[in-house]
Amino acid sequence: MGIIQRFSTQFKEILHDSELLLILAKRDISVRYKQTYLGISWAIVRPVLTMLVFLFAFKNVAKIQDLSGYPIQLVIFSGILFWNLFSTTFQSVSNSILTNGNLISKVYFPRLIICLSSTAVSLVDFFVGLIVYLILTFALGHSISIHIIFLPIALILTLLSSLGFGILFASFSVKYRDLLQLIPLVVQYGFFVTPIVYTSQSLIDSKWFIYYSIINPLAGLVEFFRFGLIVDYRLFNINILLISIGSTLFIFLLSLFVFHRREDSFVDHL
């Protein structure tokens, strides 16, 4: 009951300081694209270039023309859209406490606000990228899946997952700066061990896939994400999704508990 009360109190404090949350979010968005010629257009350039690189590699090097029978462009772009949302949020949240060290040491406010505001940039990038995905879908002569109504759920789950991992790293990296060196490695290797530019078709029949899904909740989330975007996408498995949801909620709640236990010591190490 004590833990629930603490979470409830913290949630009320965040709601009370929601204006600060919006201010920090706007600041992060402004800083992200400040003094850049392309500005928010980078949210289009990055995923499109990444997709083109993998299309070249698959079609000209590996001679792969489709992925499990689904349009290769849509499979790759939807995966990249998902991964950019996760990785950008994860990295921003992981570094958020250290980046805002001066603010933390001067005035009291719920420290979790800093982590939450760090999702603003990745959300803007995501919605811009989603528009590009829709344009690409129609340009290829395909329609939008009716299951797009589930996309907000997939979006929330992805944010909870990235927030959970990010808050954990943020909680410990204030004191243990070596953890900051692991963040790029997690993003780099996670991209390839998660079905981002390929589907889980080749993994589903493996005996170890169930354990893989528990360790890597993103595997189930990315296929749920594609289920909401690609018409007749059948690689989505409700049982795997439930495992991913369970792992995601566990990581997120654990991160809140750890953050609450360590936030009082942040000032001592900043």
Which tokens sit at 144?
A: 């939008």
Can you give the residue ranges of every domain in the chain?
Answer: 2-269
| Half-sphere exposure in the Cβ direction for 194 (13 Å, CA) | 27
Alpha helices in 107-208 (DSSP H): 112-117, 120-139, 151-173, 182-193, 201-204
Residue 208's pLDDT is 85
d(CA 143, CA 103): 47
Q: Exposed, middle or buried, 98 (CB in 10 Å: 0-12/13-18/19+)?
A: middle
Q: Exposed, middle or buried, 36 (CB in 10 Å: 0-12/13-18/19+)?
A: exposed
pLDDT beneath 70, residues of the chain: 1-10, 35-39, 59-68, 268-270
Give the tens place of pLDDT for each residue, 59-90.
Answer: 666 556 566 678 888 999 999 999 999 999 99
Residue 1's pLDDT is 46
d(CA 12, CA 181): 34
**Cβ atoms of 195 and 203 closer than 8 Å:** yes
First CA to last CA across the chain, in angstroms?
Answer: 32
For residue 67, which phi and psi values (nearest 5 degrees)?
-120, 100
Give the tens place of pLDDT for each residue, 12-47.
Answer: 777 777 788 888 888 888 877 776 666 677 778 888
